[in-house]
Amino acid sequence: MSRPRRIIVDTDPGIDDAMAIFFALASPELEVVALTTVFGNAHTPVCTANALRLLEIAGRTDIAVAEGAHAPMAMPFRGPADFVHGGDGQGDASLAPPSTRPVLEDAVELIVDRVMSAPGEITLVPLGPLTNIARALQAEPRLAANLAGIVLMGGNAFCGGNATPAAEANVVNDPEAADIVFGAACPIVMAGLDVTERIVMTGAQLDLIGEVDHPRAQHLAAILPCYRRFAREASGLDGIHVHDSTTISYLLAPQHFSHRSHQIRVDTGHGVGRGKTWPRTRPAQHGDDPWAGRPPVTILTDADVDAVVRLELGRLGVGL
């Protein structure tokens, strides 16, 4: 097998973040270099504790956790999504506190250090608001040129939002940061709601995770009921949208996805469209061009849902 692809996962764990992290750790094609944390589904210190706990559960305390931003770049934090992920970000499952600690570097320092010391090798996988990534791009102007790429969960190009009618949760939690990241001169893949809301793991499939005799699966079985309750109440869904794990599925099996390529701008205004990711779908006609100079972004638009769900469940130990 070729060398594993090296990734840094920037995350706000988060129930679907936990699924994605375990999915990545169970995939030999990927080497998780570090987890960096950000506010989002919970406040940052809670997300950091959760990241540490997840690595302890997975038996991977060799992987560094670096704490990141506590608030967006240009506004106060909108507040945790406790109605989705529980007050502790992990389904109110009464987890023991972690016994390990984050590294002394903060998230930006770690990202810059690891990327610049391995030029062209590292892919960033952001699963939460893009604050740490934007700050790292600002801190080291050569960062983008030294990345293998960015594969992120966030945004909505051709569909409505989930946090507001216009915008997706990760992007609306820091639109200014997202606009910086979508302008980075490196390959960017956007796994936004266009694709993640098409990928549903059914209740029956989720039940199978609880039958797997492995600490990772048992943790997911403990935290998933909270997420399933929200999906049922919010969308009448017997199952969940597989948001964050879609990044990992794409890294492992890009052939299961269809995509379009467009430049992206993020609405950083303070009206109803704040946080909407706007693809440029027609050429500039006259006057100002807000998309000028932006790199093309690979926007995932659809997937072979059965193949993607089977891939993740299989890696989590579910025999299908």
Ranges of H-type helices in the chain: 15-25, 44-58, 82-85, 107-116, 131-139, 143-146, 169-172, 175-181, 193-196, 203-209, 215-235, 245-252, 305-315
Hey, what are 320's tokens? 């299908």
Closest CA to 178 of 143, 144, 132, 142: 132
Cβ nearer to Ca ion, comparing 12 with 140: 12
Torsion sign (Cα): 49, 51, 52, 53: positive
Rule CB under 5 A: choose which of 57, 63, 127, 171 binds Ca ion.
127
Closest CA to 134 of 179, 169, 167: 179
Nearest-5° Cα angle at 168, 162 to 172: 125
Binding flag, residue 40, ligand RIB (CB under 6 A): yes
Cβ nearer to Ca ion, comparing 239 with 294: 239
Question: Which of 42-50, 161-169, 175-183, 232-240 is the region at the interface with ligand RIB (rule: CB under 6 A)?
Answer: 161-169
Closest CA to 253 of 306, 203, 179, 178: 306
Rule CB under 6 A: choose which of 169, 221, 308, 311 binds ligand RIB.
169
- Taking the complex as a whole, the smallest distance from the CB of residue 129 to ligand RIB amounts, in Å, to 8
Binding flag, residue 140, Ca ion (CB under 5 A): no
Q: Are 164 and 274 in contact (CB under 8 A)?
A: yes
Between helix 245-252 and helix 15-25 the angle, nearest 10°, is 20
Which residue numbers are catalytic? 12, 243
Partner residues linked to 189 by β-bridges: 151, 298
When CB distances are held under 5 to 8 angstroms depending on the partner's kind, the choice from ligand RIB, Ca ion, none that residue 169 binds is ligand RIB
Binding mask 193-232 for Ca ion (x = CB under 5 A): ----------------------------------------
Binding mask 240-259 for Ca ion (x = CB under 5 A): ----x---------------
Rule CB under 6 A: choose which of 67, 244, 267, 312 binds ligand RIB.
244
Give the C-alpha separation, 67 to 35, whole Å. 9
SS3 label, residue 58: helix
When CB distances are held under 5 to 8 angstroms depending on the partner's kind, the choice from Ca ion, ligand RIB, none that residue 168 binds is ligand RIB
Which residue is nearest to ligand RIB, using beta carbons? 169
Binding mask 204-243 for ligand RIB (x = CB under 6 A): ---------------------------------------x
Q: Which residues here bind ligand RIB, judged by CB under 6 A?
A: 12, 14, 16-17, 40-41, 127-128, 153, 162, 168-170, 243-244
Q: Which residues here bind Ca ion, judged by CB under 5 A?
A: 12, 14, 17, 127-128, 244
